[in-house]
Chains A and B, each alone.
Chain A
Amino acid sequence: MSSSPHRHSQHFACRPMLREALAGDGPLPPDVQAHVDGCAFCAARVQARTRLLPLLRRRPEAADVPPQQVLDGVYERVVERAERGPVGRLLDEHLPVPAERAADAWPDALLDSPVAMRVAGTLPTPPREWARVRESILGQLADQAAPATLEPVPAVRRARVWIGLVGSAVAATVVLAVLAREPHEPPVITFQDIARLPVDGAIPAVDFAVVRYGATR
């Protein structure tokens, strides 16, 4: 489209006429109509408006391609672009292939790992202590069954049995707790790597660092 100064000045007079001609919907005023009839520039634009206005009133539709297919096509293009991009390459390289069988998905190495050992391990129960508890209970029961010179009231007898049982259980629990603590596990100590030694003052100076480098690194 030419933007020469001559053309610009030639159609300068058309502008108010054209504005009125394009804005109106019905017949044009006589002076505007007279101008449009005599001006090829304005006549062309008024004709174009007449042809396009009905079309613009209705939303254009893709007559040949259904809307859902259009959207699917868009989605596919997005996915293909992502697959070819950095995210897709990263997933290809690092995403593990799932095992076909459940047994394959559980490596045997995990069952032998230190974590597995700790989980599977149970507190040892010394059989000797359980034997003592059992003997104690049976002994008390036997005492209760033996004849006595003065037999206590049955309710009192039952109470004594229960007290004896509870006492034995408590004693056994205490003994087990003490024995279970004896194979003392060492405290867990972890290492934290640091990029440089803290400056002298924050911690006591590290003499060896000075020996090696002449200053704390």
Chain B
Amino acid sequence: MALLLAGSGAFAQRGAGTLSAPQSTPVSFVTMAQAVEQQDYTVEQLRRFIDPQGQVTTVREQVKVDANGTEVPPCLVTFLGVEGELPGSPLHTKWEQTYGRYGQLFHRHGSFGVRSLGKVQQNYGFYEIGTVVRAGRSAVRAVVFPVSTDKSIWIVDVDAATKVPLYWAEFDLQFRLLAEVEVVVFVDSVVMPAMASPVPTVQHASFAAADSWLGSPAGLIEPQAALADYAIGQIETRQDPLSGQQRLVVTFTDGVDQFLVSQVPATPDVFSGLLPKVRGGAATGHTIARFQDASMRVLLFWEDGVSFQVAGRGSLTRLDEVAQHVYRQALSTN
């Protein structure tokens, strides 16, 4: 664990800055889940993207969360800059455009959070390992350890007062650092501007509602998790701000981890002629393109005018099984 802490690059301000944690309630999954539903906050944080070669890009962002009693409160993510880059540089512009198009998703799918209390208690353990100071606030450092071996391990610094995570580092089972976010400024309130989110996203209570919202295009299916430790988290429809393309996204969660099943209707089969067909198979052309590395696993296939994407963290090899299950569902439906 000492190696984890040393390698994480954490700015744990020990020594003169070490404070005892004035906790009114202990930090636990329960209190963290409550904070998601009840705690407004505004943070300025550094998000570190680590590529497979170990190159790190640090982006400064502002996140505003307006809790509304649900597990998925509205949020606004604003790009502030790239560390070490001047505004107007090509890298700065590229990231600014990326945040303009995808910013909200960094907080929704790229940050640590308790997404389902029941599931997180089944699938993870919470182990306190000390107290630190983050963004000038007393925080509890903990390790969130998965029950199964195909998920990430998290080191989290949780604000002792509000139970909001102020720092998290994600490691794989080989203790490679996959992602890191560090809050540098924390305010326990929010003033949410009345503006449209960069990626127009609509939450739906059910698949049927989402399907109806999209106009019931042909080929969409209601995906099933096929993994016992995951359950449906959200059902959303999203519109790409650049292309205007609509997609239906079902997010499955085990309490912390997530994987997404995206369906984009009315798309041509870009895989025909590219991927080898199954020789001698009764159903030729049923091929799933798979990209995998330490950080993510993406499975792509196409059926009946719909482009399917199953995407999750790299260690979750069971996603192959999910993709096969969804593909068979699509084949049997069409």
Task: Judge if B179 is at the interface, Cβ distance under 8 Å.
Answer: yes
Q: Which residues of B contact A210 (CB under 8 A)?
A: 98, 102, 105
Assembled-state Cα–Cα distance A197/B259 (Å)? 17
Q: Which residues of B contact A7 (CB under 8 A)?
A: none
Given A187-B328, A189-B327, answer yes or no on A211-B106 (Cβ-Cβ < 8 Å): yes
Q: Is the CB of B331 within 8 A of A197?
A: no
Assembled-state Cα–Cα distance A189/B323 (Å)? 10
- A206 touches which of B94, B281, B309 (Cβ 8 Å): B309
Q: Is the CB of A208 within 8 A of B307?
A: no
Q: Which residues of B contact A198 (CB under 8 A)?
A: 270, 300
Q: Is the CB of A192 within 8 A of B275?
A: yes
Q: Which residues of B contact A204 (CB under 8 A)?
A: 240, 245, 247, 262, 264, 267, 307, 309
For residue B282, give the distance in angstroms from its CB to the closest CB of chain A: 7
Interface residue stretch chosen among B17-25, B184-192, B204-212, B284-292: B284-292
Q: Which residues of A contact B119 (CB under 8 A)?
A: none
Given A190-B278, A191-B287, A214-B59, answer yes or no on A208-B296 (Cβ-Cβ < 8 Å): yes
Question: Which residue of chain A lies nearest to B294 when distances are taken between CB atoms in the complex?
Answer: A212
Q: On chain B, which size bracket covers the interface?
A: 35 or more
For residue B106, give the distance in angstroms from its CB to the closest CB of chain A: 6
Assembled-state Cα–Cα distance A203/B327 (Å)? 17
Q: Which residues of B contact A203 (CB under 8 A)?
A: 267, 270, 300, 307
Q: Is the CB of B283 within 8 A of A206?
A: no
- B324 touches which of A189, A196, A209, A215 (Cβ 8 Å): A189
Given A204-B267, A208-B311, A209-B311, answer yes or no on A194-B291 (Cβ-Cβ < 8 Å): yes
For residue B333, give the distance in angstroms from its CB to the closest CB of chain A: 13
Q: Which residues of B contact A185 (CB under 8 A)?
A: 282
> Chain B 110-151 against A: per-residue CB contact (8 Å), 1 yes, 0 no?
100000000000000000000000000000000000000000
Q: Is the CB of B59 within 8 A of A189?
A: no
Q: Is the CB of B98 within 8 A of A212?
A: no
Most buried by B among A193, A205, A209: A205
Task: Judge if A151 is at the interface, Cβ distance under 8 Å.
Answer: no
Q: Is the CB of A188 within 8 A of B179?
A: no
Task: Judge if B260 is at the interface, Cβ distance under 8 Å.
Answer: yes
Number of A interface residues at 8 Å Cβ cutoff, please give it: 29
Given A186-B328, A203-B270, A205-B240, answer yes or no on A211-B102 (Cβ-Cβ < 8 Å): yes
Question: Which residue of chain B lies nearest to A184 when distances are taken between CB atoms in the complex?
Answer: B332
Assembled-state Cα–Cα distance A213/B296 (Å)? 9
Assembled-state Cα–Cα distance A188/B245 (Å)? 31
Chain A interface mostly: loop
> Chain A 10-44 against B: per-residue CB contact (8 Å), 1 yes, 0 no?
00000000000000000000000000000000000
Q: Which residues of A contact B234 (CB under 8 A)?
A: none
Q: Which residues of A contact B288 (CB under 8 A)?
A: 189-192
> Chain B 283-324 against A: per-residue CB contact (8 Å), 1 yes, 0 no?
100111111110110111000000101011000000010001
Question: Which residue of chain B lies nearest to A208 when distances are taken between CB atoms in the complex?
Answer: B311
> Chain A 157-192 against B: per-residue CB contact (8 Å), 1 yes, 0 no?
000000000000000000000000000011111111
Q: Which residues of A contact B26 (CB under 8 A)?
A: none
Most buried by A among B106, B240, B290, B300: B300
Assembled-state Cα–Cα distance A7/B291 (Å)? 80
Q: Is the CB of A189 within 8 A of B51?
A: no
Task: Judge if B57 is at the interface, Cβ distance under 8 Å.
Answer: yes
Assembled-state Cα–Cα distance A197/B59 (Å)? 23
Assembled-state Cα–Cα distance A214/B324 (Å)? 27
Q: Is the CB of A194 within 8 A of B286?
A: no
Q: Is the CB of A212 within 8 A of B328?
A: no
Task: Judge if B249 is at the interface, Cβ distance under 8 Å.
Answer: yes
| Chain B residues packing against A (C-beta within 8 Å) | 49, 51, 57, 59, 94-95, 98, 102, 105-106, 109-110, 178-179, 238, 240, 245, 247, 249, 259-260, 262, 264, 267, 270, 275-276, 278, 281-283, 286-293, 295-296, 298-300, 307, 309, 311-312, 320, 324, 327-328, 331
CB-based closest 10 A-B pairs: A208-B311, A187-B283, A211-B110, A204-B264, A188-B281, A189-B286, A212-B296, A214-B49, A211-B109, A210-B102
CB pairs A–B below 8 angstroms (9 shown): A187-B328, A189-B286, A194-B291, A196-B291, A198-B300, A203-B300, A207-B260, A208-B312, A209-B296
A207-B109, A212-B178, A214-B49 given. 14 additional CB < 8 A pairs?
A187-B331, A189-B288, A190-B288, A191-B289, A192-B288, A192-B290, A194-B290, A203-B267, A203-B300, A204-B240, A206-B298, A206-B300, A210-B102, A212-B179
